[in-house]
Amino acid sequence: MFIIGTLFSGCENLLEIDPVDEGVILEADAIQTKQDLQELLNAAYDVVNGFYGGRFQRTSELLADNVVLRDGITDEMVNIYKRYTTGYFTDNESYEQAYNNDHPGVVIKTNSKVELVPRNTVAEVYQQIIADLTEAESVLPESNSNFVYATNWSAKAALAQVYFQMRDYDNAYTKANEVINSGVFTFVTDFDDYSSNTTEAIFKLVSNETSGKRVGGDFGVYRSDGTNIPNIRVAPDVYKNVIKAGAGDLRVDGFYKVFNPGEANEYVAFTKFNNEFPVVPVFHLTEMKLLRAESAMLKTSVDKPTAILDVNDIRERAYGGASKNLLETADNAAVLNAVRTERRLELMGEGYRLYDLKRRGTAGEDIVIRGVEWDYVGLVIQFGASEANEVFVANPEPN
């Protein structure tokens, strides 16, 4: 979920135009006033609205193991779910080590010059993201417009996610801890208020019913309210063996609904995305607590009491009391398992599962995702064929 860091990448350099560059900007098109800069910033947030309005989340979920597709769907979601797209090339190579630091990542572009450039390594991309977010952390304000714009807290949250994905658990713990302990954001304890996340959102996309502005349109593939028939549904085995595993879990009825029970066309739908004018949290406190909890168990010096505290906060809301709380005497393996179970339950449908599994795979765990190993090439969305050139090397095609 940390791609939000690209919003801040190279902003200063992009404004420094070399007049001999082919990509020179004419004076009439250049940023000249504060209003011009504000409009450019708003345009950047429009891009965020589009990307985080459900598209990123549903694509990640389709590649992972929480969901299934409605029968009869023929659009691009089928290609993603089946782990191939029309953009794949046909060299039939495969990754031996899909996420090593020397593996090709995306292109790092910090100027406006029109030129062909090769992909940077994953390590270089991470270095750039961390540098940009660290700078953003130092210059962004602590608050603005009820967190609909980025603040230093959202930069910290993004850094926590980046470090977490890199398995740098010490730094991930530190950044998440700063956000949680700031007191700026309040953990929602009333399950009925959970879907709004109004006090938990560290950075959010907001619809406006008065103006008719909607965000989160791509979450429509989950919606099951009114006449909506969801195209993405909860996998039956996940509902039975994971979601309903905890007797008395309020999330079962709060997040899901079984349609046509007992019939051949029975399916399980998400209900937590049923909103015509949603608020979509890009970063929120629940995820930060679960990130901190897992990092606490995996960092250099284990902090089991904090992990237990975070898990118990989540469980007390889920069960309406302390009946399922972890005991202080729980061993490390039990605590880590509890953290990961709660992370899956709380964030299902939000796009985290795929990256959690890949992260664990890079650590040496035997991770299989719907029948394929975690590093299978089809679990990476391919660049479109139009991107290929003599210096830009495409990803291999899935077998």
pLDDT > 90 in the chain, percent: 58
Q: Which two tokens stand for residue 84?
A: 């191939």
| 369 or 18, higher pLDDT | 369
Confidence (pLDDT) at 96: 34
In tens, the pLDDT along 238-247 reads: 999 999 999 9
Q: Which two tokens stand for residue 243?
A: 């979601």
The whole domain housing 349 covers: 2-64+75-207+281-387
pLDDT band at 348 (very low <50, low <70, confident <90, very high): very high
What is the count of structural domains for the chain?
1
Confidence (pLDDT) at 49: 78
137 to 42, 158, 183, 224, 282: CA distances (angstroms): 19, 10, 17, 39, 16
Q: Which residue has the tokens 């009869």?
A: 72
d(CA 283, CA 274): 19
Residue 206, H or E segment: strand 201-206
- Among 383, 381, 384, 378, residue whose Cα is nearest residue 398: 378
- Among 219, 217, 238, 232, residue whose Cα is nearest residue 73: 232
Confidence (pLDDT) at 371: 95
Confidence (pLDDT) at 369: 97
- Among 188, 221, 15, 199, residue whose Cα is nearest residue 111: 15
Residue 102 in any domain: the answer is: yes
CB 50 within 8 A of CB 282: no
The residues pairing with 67 across neighbouring beta strands, listed in sequence order, are 234
Residue 373 in any domain: the answer is: yes
Residue 247 in any domain: the answer is: no
Q: Average pLDDT, stretch 287-301?
A: 98
- Helix, strand, coil shares of the chain, percent, nearest 5, are 45, 10, 45
The residues pairing with 373 across neighbouring beta strands, listed in sequence order, are 368
In tens, the pLDDT along 36-73 reads: 777 777 777 777 777 788 888 999 999 999 999 999 99
CATH of the domain at 55: 1.25.40.900
Confidence (pLDDT) at 349: 95
d(CA 351, CA 346): 11
In tens, the pLDDT along 189-238 reads: 887 666 666 789 999 988 888 888 888 888 999 999 999 999 999 999 99
| 28 or 42, higher pLDDT | 42
Q: Average pLDDT, stretch 341-365?
A: 97
Residue 267 in any domain: the answer is: no
pLDDT > 70 in the chain, percent: 86
In tens, the pLDDT along 132-144 reads: 999 999 999 998 8
Q: Which residues contact 231 (CB under 8 A, 6 or more apart)?
A: 69, 70, 73, 77, 221
Q: Which residues contact 158 (CB under 8 A, 6 or more apart)?
A: 2, 4, 5, 133, 283
Q: Which residues contact 136 (CB under 8 A, 6 or more apart)?
A: 8, 150, 152, 155
Q: Which residue has the tokens 């209900």?
A: 271
Residue 41 in any domain: the answer is: yes
Q: Which residues contact 146 (CB under 8 A, 6 or more apart)?
A: none
Q: Which range has the worst mean pLDDT, 306-310, 369-373, 380-384?
A: 380-384
Q: Which residues contact 43 (CB under 8 A, 6 or more apart)?
A: none
Say yes or no to pLDDT of 358 above 60: yes
d(CA 214, CA 375): 36
Q: Which range has the worst mean pLDDT, 43-47, 281-285, 314-318, 324-328?
A: 43-47
pLDDT band at 11 (very low <50, low <70, confident <90, very high): very low
Say yes or no to pLDDT of 90 above 70: no
The residues pairing with 369 across neighbouring beta strands, listed in sequence order, are 372
Per-position b or e across 7-33, b if 16+ CB within 10 A of its CB: bbbbeeeeeebeeeeeeeeeeeeeeee
Confidence (pLDDT) at 193: 65
Say yes or no to pLDDT of 9 above 50: no
Q: Which range has the worst mean pLDDT, 90-94, 207-211, 264-268?
A: 90-94
158 to 88, 136, 288: CA distances (angstroms): 30, 10, 10
Q: Which two tokens stand for residue 169?
A: 């658990």
Residue 295 in any domain: the answer is: yes
Q: Average pLDDT, stretch 296-311?
A: 98
d(CA 257, CA 276): 18
d(CA 211, CA 181): 36
- Among 178, 147, 184, 146, residue whose Cα is nearest residue 160: 178
Residue 87 in any domain: the answer is: yes
Residue 250 in any domain: the answer is: no
pTM above 0.95, yes or no: no
What rounded mean pLDDT belongs to the chain?
85
